[in-house]
Amino acid sequence: MDEQERYAHAKRQVEELRGFYMHLAVYIAVNLLLFAINMVTSPGALWFYWVTIFWGIGVVFHALGVFAGGRVFGREWEERKIREIMEREERR
């Protein structure tokens, strides 16, 4: 891998990290706001956590995509599965 390819790869990783951190920051800010709204308008009936839970699942999958380096349902996983299927087909 030459210098230009390494730079492009590093830049792509930094963009993915920035995207994840922005997603996480918005998640935290919005959920804090929803919590505050819930406590002011209807403290006896909590509803904010539904957004927190389901959006949190999305944040976790985003984190896996960024920090697992594509090993979990990313490019690396796809390539590995393609090789496995091709090898299996060759053995038939």
pLDDT tens-place string over residues 52-71 = 999 999 999 899 888 887 66
Encode pLDDT of 17-64 as tens digits.
Answer: 999 999 999 999 999 999 999 999 999 999 999 999 999 999 998 998
At residue 43, the 3 state secondary structure works out as coil
Q: What is the pTM of this model?
A: 0.75
- Cα separation of 90 and 40, whole Å? 64
Of the candidates 12, 1, 7, which has an alpha carbon nearest to the alpha carbon of residue 69? Answer: 12
Measured CA to CA in angstroms, residue 31 lies from 17, 44, 89, 90 at distances of 21, 18, 49, 51
Tokens of 65: 């995509």
Q: Calculate ∠ Cα 69-20-30, nearest 5°.
A: 150
